[in-house]
Amino acid sequence: MAEVKKLATRDGYGKALVELGREHSNIVVLDADLAGSTKTGMFKKEFPDRHFNCGIAEADMMCVAAGLSTAGFVPFASSFAMFASGRAYEQIRNSIGYPHLNVKIGATHGGMSVGEDGASHQCCEDFALMRSIPGMTVICPADAVEAEAAVKAAYELEGPVYLRFGRLAVPVFHEEGFTFAIGKGEIMREGTDVAIIANGLMVYEAVQAGELLEQKGIHARIINMSTVKPIDEELVLQAAKDCGRVITCEEHSIIGGLGEAVCSLLSEKLPTPVRRIGVDDRFGISGPAYEVLEHFGLCAKHIAEVAEDFCK
């Protein structure tokens, strides 16, 4: 069997910025002294006059991005998720969200898969923070191809967008040329026994879990919900109606993220039993990325175990 191609979603971010830069002269990219890690260095190499290193001053960077957007530019402000969403929250809320400016935030190194960098850099609160800002669109693509398409879709959307990317190279399962629709989910596998709704690197794990469940006679519907806000309400409600049970999977705290978005919707419109897989109310630990993910149950084996127990 051919080996599965792996790329980090941040690679898709860097590639998309370059392609957009070639097509649109109003795109500018800002980074906080992390051009190599965020992959914005790819844009800097080709368009040095449209790349601005704001230094280790994320709050200032967001304000610069806000100002540039009022002058007709479309800025992509880039840093690690922990700093982009956490350190600069006030500036994003007041200088970008409140006036509803056309700023795109590229947040890399999100979630537990930062691995050895440990709890201080493992941002599992960013969905919750960004979802709380009125008018903010929140996206977490599942692979590098989808990431590239999501960045291009974000450019076309007027208003603030938070894009979360990962550090870890993960399997690529979307075909080149994939079109991303903001606010729309994607059915990866059909089933009627349980619906598993995931985003980010958890999508591939959910698909693998679906294969494990199939061997036990459990047919899981796997849904890629890369847009965390707004979620695809129609797809979630239909899955809940057809399957009667829903599991959410995210590389984020179970508080405030995809799980809560799904639960809020279902509790109001179609009460359905739900189990949330994510990071319980705790901080992370240091270690190799895949070992950290397995430790926190962010893997196919654990998803399958939860689903099997749920279906009993």
Assess contact for 206 and 253: CB atoms under 8 A. no
- 61: DSSP letter: H
**Tokens 């898969």 sit on residue:** 113
305 among known catalytic residues:
no
d(CA 180, CA 147): 9
Count of C-beta atoms within a 10 Å radius of residue 120: 11
Give how far Cα 211 sits from Cα of 74, 219, 222, Å.
Answer: 42, 9, 10
Count of C-beta atoms within a 10 Å radius of residue 55: 11
CA 16 to chain centre: 16
Count of C-beta atoms within a 10 Å radius of residue 259: 24
* Torsion over CA: 78, 84, 87, 89 (sign): positive
At residue 86, what is the residue type? G
79 phi/psi in degrees, rounded to 5: -165, 180
- Listing from the earlier edge strand, what are the strands of the sheet with 220-224? 186-189, 220-224, 194-198, 246-253, 274-279
Assess contact for 19 and 155: CB atoms under 8 A. no
- Nearest of 77, 131, 169 to residue 253 by alpha carbon: 131
User: Which of 58, 205, 251, 308 is an active site residue?
Assistant: 58
Assess contact for 94 and 152: CB atoms under 8 A. no
d(CA 143, CA 274): 25
So which residues are the catalytic ones? 58
